[in-house]
Amino acid sequence: MRIVTATRYVTPLREGGSLPAIVEADDCGLYVVKFRGAGHGTLALVAEWITGELARAAGLRIPELVGVRLDDALGRNEPDPEIRDLLRASVGLNLGVDWLPGSLMFDPVVGPSPDPREASDIVWFDALTSNVDRTARNPNLLWWHRRLHLIDHGASLYFHHAWADEEARRWSPFPAIKDHVLLPWADDLPGVRGRLEPRLPREGIARVVDQVPDDWLADEPRFRSRAEHRAAYVEHLTHRIEASAVFTEEAERARAALV
């Protein structure tokens, strides 16, 4: 994970409940920063990193993800008390998503229509990572330079909010896939497994999980160490890939019901 330091709070993005913001960093880049002091805290950052980097490994387009270090001076002169409190609670390492200037949110009504093969890949990947937040109401897909880019994965991997239920969720068909914004175009779901599964081997998953900062892993009493905690993510995702026939069939059934 590349680490930058925040130098200027530019503007809040009030579309999301967790109040992300555009922040300038010491590399002169602009990033959409997801703050550790917001919403689900660092677990959302873990989901953003793991899901985003696995999507990249699978060949899907993701803006660069970086660690953004905040010190307590950044929000000292912020007039908005809500933002000031958020920045104060987010001192330390946060997650930044490269800002894509001029990008537009994907609109299933306005178009343009996505490539069916790419739509199939994204639907399958979101079922793999249990991403409930890619709907017509909230697509979390950006058109940039005429290509789709995936953003906002903090709601994926929701099993890690209740580890006691994790084992059952490994084999879930993920019925929420019926609400996926790209499902109408996903006409090659059976072919996705042959394309994406080889790009997501266990060792590749482990490399991504190993890059999660230690202090993003919330204290979880069922794990005796951070290494055991990381191994549990790898185990879950490896089993999810083994269960791909189950969630692929569910996605196919959901798509057939649209016709």
Domain count, the chain: 2
Q: Which tokens belong to 10?
A: 């530019």
Element (H, E) at 152: none
Whole-number pLDDT of residue 240: 96
Say if residue 85 is in the same domain as residue 135.
no
**Measured distance CA(231)–CA(234) in Å, rounded:** 5
- Residues 170-200 have pLDDT tens digits of 999 999 999 999 999 999 999 999 999 999 9
138 and 241 in a single domain? The answer is yes
Element (H, E) at 122: helix 116-128
Q: Do 176 and 67 have their domain in common? A: no
Domain range enclosing 136: 104-145+158-258
Establish if 151 belongs to a structural domain: no
Chain segment 40-59, per-residue pLDDT in tens: 889 999 999 999 999 999 99
Residue 188 lies in a domain: yes
pLDDT (tens digit per residue) in 100-150: 999 999 999 987 999 999 999 999 999 999 999 999 999 999 999 999 999
Question: How confident is residue 16, by pLDDT bands cut at 50, 70 and 90?
Answer: low
Q: How confident is the model at residue 78 (pLDDT cuts 50, 70, 90)?
A: confident
Determine how β-strand 30-34 pairs with β-strand 21-25: antiparallel
Q: Residue holding tokens 């994790």?
A: 166
Residues 13 and 58 in one domain: yes
Residues 110, 214 share a domain: yes
pLDDT of 182 reads 98
